[in-house]
Amino acid sequence: MQWYSLVPKSSFLLVIYLNLTLTVHSLTKSICSSYLIATDIDIRTHHQYVQPCPVSYPCQCLCDMENHRLWIDCFSRHLQTFPTFEYIDTDQTILEWNIDLAFNSFDNVTIAKWLPENMRIRYLIFSGSLAYDLIVQLNLTHRHLIDQWPNKKHLFITNNDGDEDEEEEEEEAEDDDVEELMKRSISQSDYEYTRLLTELTSELRDQSKQIQTFALSLAEEPSPISILYLDHNRLGEIPLRALYNATGLYELYLSYNNISSLPAYAFGFSHRLTRLDLSYNQISSIDNFTFERHPRAYAGPFLIDYLDLSHNQLTVLNSHCFSYLVNLRLLKLQHNQIYELSADVWTGLYRLKYLDLSHNYIDNITQIFYNAYLSELNQLKLTSNNISQINSCEFLALQALNRLDLSNNYLSNLDTCAFYGLPRITSRSSLHVYLHANQFETLHPCTFNNFARSTIHIENNPLICNCTLNYLLQDRKSLAYTGQECRGGYVYQLQTQFSSPAIRKANRRAGKKFANTSITCRDAYKYYNNLCPQSDCKTLCSPNEQFVIQVSKIALPNRTTSTCRRTFLPLLFFVFYVILTEQVRVVV
């Protein structure tokens, strides 16, 4: 006998009815918010269509069921004007939305009051490009463009919901070339997606307009928006009207615009700003007060830890122009026209870990890194400049450096104390010095004295394989050298009696060491073994230490802050004096 035969038919039907009712009710509620109703599901993207929607058709409201994000999809809807956002009754509960307004037909955004009180925006996207990295980061699929993908399928997106993990991976890959980075992060099939996205971007730009004026008010408390994408547009200047009193902005992307200068207090109200991308513009000047706190602001952009100024037209950086950015960890200045720098530029950057000055016109680095604020710098890139000489003790202040890239310059010789002060022996990591693609014919062995745990890359130089180089290759295991230059026909000077070539292969698997039995080279080895320990770089560089800015690791206060302290502290002492006097009077 079955168990349901014992249940009356009426009760059994009632149970089925209740189950169906509860199931339908649970399906109608959106998993993104209990205040929204799911009307349908897009089986291709696994997104719910939800109502009520704060904007009208042709925009749509969606629930990303995987990441529990609410999206207002206005992507490429041929909108002529900025949409109006209606109030949704949520019993004072704030709903966080993400809005995609890219590729529409408005070029001016100048709205003052535009958000209801209970609505907040995390991502606001006006980007004029279907960039692969942005799509991966935000897990966007652009539902109504699926018909344009190959085989009518949506773009495959790798889930990358952890912003912190993404930043860590980016920091680890900063020192790699762009091509190597792409090979590591994008698979073969993703290259096809990238090509398709580039083609679709061109098509969409022909059908839409790029933003030229942006004055959307971001001044509310709590902040109406956290992350703003304005890249790949036609902004001619920093949107000061929008950033005025924008105290809640965390990330701002302004790359690929026509910005030519950075005015004073451009980000002076954004005291929560942590990431700023100004790459691929036409910036030729930075005001000394660009990154300072605005006089009317509670605090300035001192939390910025990522600043990208690459691919601009900077020539000279003013002293102390970054002094307010005391939390900056990554600074990109590559692909500019910088030809002159001073040590004062780095004042205040006591947390800087990564500095990229590659692909500029720097020809002289004399004392430009003589700044105690750079004591925590890990990576320094000076690739593809016009550097032809490095004097002694130039990197004296870089006590934490573990990667120094001087490749593709015009160096032909090095001072024996050129790298004094660098952490040659560390417990955490070894030092890597990149000298490939220069003009070295020989290297003095004493230059790399006690660099046993470091790696010196000297590939692609016109090296002469004499006893000096052989001494380096044999006894200084730190040199990474394949020997290709010597095999290419360069003269083996004074090595006609060698039983083996003066080459130590970089291939560790081989495990083979070449022993040189030349009497001439034996004498050279003895000479260098006696000479190198006698080189006293410490004594030589001690006078240079007085040129290194002697400041503490804690950043100096801002000029405005100093004024406030000078005014506030005496007043505070006066108040304490009055209180103490009154207490003594009462006791008496």
Annotate 256-277 with b (16+ C-beta within 10 A) or e (fewer). Answer: bbebebbeebbbbbbbbbbbbb
Mean pLDDT for 459-473 is 80
pLDDT at residue 157 in the model: 54
Mean pLDDT for 169-194 is 51
Dig out the tokens for 177 from the structure. Answer: 């070339």
Please determine, for residue 411, whether its predicted confidence score (pLDDT) is greater than 60. Answer: yes
Q: How far apart are CA 327 and CA 346, in angstroms?
A: 12
Dig out the tokens for 133 from the structure. Answer: 């990295």
Q: How far apart are CA 4 and CA 13, in angstroms?
A: 11
pLDDT at residue 587 in the model: 40
Instruction: Give residue 296's Cα distance to chain centre.
Output: 29
pLDDT tier, 151 (very low <50, low <70, confident <90, very high otherwise) = low
Q: Which long-range contacts (CB under 8 A, 24 or more apart) does 449-454 make?
A: 449/416, 449/532, 449/533, 449/535, 450/424, 450/425, 451/419, 451/424, 451/476, 451/478, 452/425, 452/476, 452/477, 452/478, 453/424, 453/425, 453/426, 453/478, 454/424, 454/430, 454/478
Name every residue whose Cβ is closer than 8 Å to that of residue 74 and which is 6 or more positions away in sequence.
55, 58, 59, 83, 99, 100, 101, 104
pLDDT in tens, 524-581: 778 888 888 888 888 888 888 777 755 434 444 444 443 333 334 444 444 444 454 4
pLDDT at residue 401 in the model: 92
pLDDT tier, 184 (very low <50, low <70, confident <90, very high otherwise) = very low
Better pLDDT: 155 or 528: 528
Please determine, for residue 22, whether its predicted confidence score (pLDDT) is greater than 70. Answer: no
pLDDT at residue 352 in the model: 96
Please determine, for residue 21, whether its predicted confidence score (pLDDT) is greater than 70. Answer: no
Mean pLDDT for 170-198 is 56
Mean pLDDT for 147-153 is 65
Give the residue from 59, 37, 41 showing the smallest Cα distance to 50. Answer: 37
Please determine, for residue 16, whether its predicted confidence score (pLDDT) is greater than 60. Answer: no
Please determine, for residue 452, whether its predicted confidence score (pLDDT) is greater than 90. Answer: no
Please determine, for residue 327, whether its predicted confidence score (pLDDT) is greater than 80. Answer: yes
pLDDT in tens, 344-360: 899 999 999 999 999 99
Q: How far apart are CA 33 and CA 43, in angstroms?
A: 20
Range with the largest mean pLDDT of 18-27, 133-142, 168-177 = 133-142
pLDDT tier, 472 (very low <50, low <70, confident <90, very high otherwise) = confident
Question: Rounded mean pLDDT of the chain?
Answer: 78
Please determine, for residue 313, whether its predicted confidence score (pLDDT) is greater than 90. Answer: yes
pLDDT in tens, 73-106: 999 999 999 999 999 988 888 999 999 999 999 9
pLDDT at residue 424 in the model: 60
Please determine, for residue 361, whether its predicted confidence score (pLDDT) is greater than 50. Answer: yes
pTM of the predicted structure, to 2 decimals? 0.80
pLDDT at residue 131 in the model: 82
pLDDT tier, 176 (very low <50, low <70, confident <90, very high otherwise) = very low
Please determine, for residue 324, whether its predicted confidence score (pLDDT) is greater than 50. Answer: yes
Report how far apart, in Å, the C-alpha atoms of 577 and of each of 156, 571, 573, 588 are.
Answer: 69, 10, 6, 17
pLDDT at residue 502 in the model: 37
pLDDT at residue 566 in the model: 37
Name every residue whose Cβ is closer than 8 Å to that of residue 546 and which is 6 or more positions away in sequence.
none
pLDDT at residue 542 in the model: 83
pLDDT tier, 365 (very low <50, low <70, confident <90, very high otherwise) = very high
Lowest mean pLDDT among 142-146, 149-153, 334-338, 535-539: 149-153
Annotate 100-126 with b (16+ C-beta within 10 A) or e (fewer). Answer: bbbbbeeeebebeebbbeebbbebbbb
pLDDT at residue 10 in the model: 47
% of the chain at pLDDT higher than 70 = 72
DSSP per-residue string spanning 363-409: ---TTTT-BGGGGG--EEE--SS------TTTTTT-TT--EEE--SS
Please determine, for residue 328, whether its predicted confidence score (pLDDT) is greater than 90. Answer: yes
pLDDT at residue 550 in the model: 54
Please determine, for residue 18, whether its predicted confidence score (pLDDT) is greater than 60. Answer: no
pLDDT in tens, 208-266: 999 999 999 898 777 789 999 999 999 999 999 999 999 999 999 999 999 999 999 99
**Burial of 145: CB neighbours in 10 Å, binned 0-12, 13-18, 19+:** middle
Better pLDDT: 564 or 39: 39
* 3-state secondary structure (DSSP) of residue 171: helix
pLDDT at residue 155 in the model: 63
* 3-state secondary structure (DSSP) of residue 527: helix
Mean pLDDT for 313-342 is 95
Please determine, for residue 39, whether its predicted confidence score (pLDDT) is greater than 60. Answer: yes
pLDDT at residue 511 in the model: 39
pLDDT at residue 484 in the model: 59
As a whole number of Å, the CA-based R_g of the chain is: 31
Query: What residue segments make up the domains of the chain, in order of their start?
Result: 95-139
What is the DSSP pairing of strand 69-73 with strand 60-64? antiparallel
pLDDT at residue 464 in the model: 80
DSSP per-residue string spanning 29-52: B-SS-TTSEEEEEETTTTEEEEES
Dig out the tokens for 85 from the structure. Answer: 């956002």
Better pLDDT: 36 or 551: 36
Q: Are 443 and 419 in contact (CB under 8 A)?
A: no
Please determine, for residue 4, whether its predicted confidence score (pLDDT) is greater than 50. Answer: no
Amino acid identity, residue 240? Answer: L
Mean pLDDT for 155-177 is 47
pLDDT in tens, 280-293: 999 999 999 999 99
